[in-house]
Amino acid sequence: MHPLVEIQHTTRKELERILVGLTDEDARKRVQPMNCISWIIAHIAQNQYSMFVAWAQDVEFPERFRKYRSGNPPLLPPLDEAMALWEESCRESDKWLDTATESDMRNRFAKPDAVRAYETAGTLVVRNIFHTWSHAGEIHSIRQVLGHKPPDFVQMHGWQYQGVFDV
């Protein structure tokens, strides 16, 4: 597996770890000006789906994800709905991610409506990792405002750096 994909998978595990114990009620509370946690989860899912399913696999981008794009009105989706989008996004993205080679990472997706069409696939994986971590911090902040204990330090979930990827 490509090292960037390993880091992507570790990032997902960490996001899922910080959601442990979250109730639907808390997930749907909006601490303005931020969105609610369930919206953030669905937003991360739509971002991942757009890059690694719609663009990478040339699949139609479903309407159920569109409403969670940046700039759309804030919604308060049920936690189970947001998690279903997250799980679908991970499952479908892995069809491309888990088979991506170094050559694939250096290519660009040929999707004319891709906002980031000038970026390589590897750059998009890194962008998605950073995007997820940014929102993970936001989720931590919201949870603390809602009275949850501060998060534990970042977990690596068994990932260890194995050296430079051979071309």
Q: What is the pLDDT along the chain (167 residues), one digit of tens a residue?
A: 899 999 999 999 999 999 999 999 999 999 999 999 999 999 999 999 999 999 899 899 999 999 999 999 999 999 999 999 999 999 999 999 999 999 999 998 876 565 566 789 999 999 999 999 999 999 999 999 999 887 776 766 677 777 665 55
Among candidates 133, 147, 146, 151, which has minimal Cα distance to 31?
Answer: 146
Query: Contact at 8 Å (CB) between 45 and 92?
Result: no
CA distances to 50, 59, 95, 97 from 91, rounded to whole Å, are 13, 14, 7, 10
Q: How many residues does the chain have?
A: 167
Among the listed residues 36, 143, 14, the one whose alpha carbon sits nearest the alpha carbon of residue 81: 36
- Fold classified for 3-145: Four Helix Bundle (Hemerythrin (Met), subunit A) (1.20.120)
- Distance from chain centroid for Cα 40: 9
3-class state of residue 147 by DSSP = coil
| Angle at alpha carbon of residue 90, lines to 40 and 112, rounded to 5° | 85
Nearest to 130 by CA among 4, 17, 24, 22: 4
Say what the pTM is. 0.90
Contact 46, 65 (CB under 8 A): yes
Convert 21-31 to b/e letters by CB count within 10 Å (16 or more is b): ebeeebbbeee
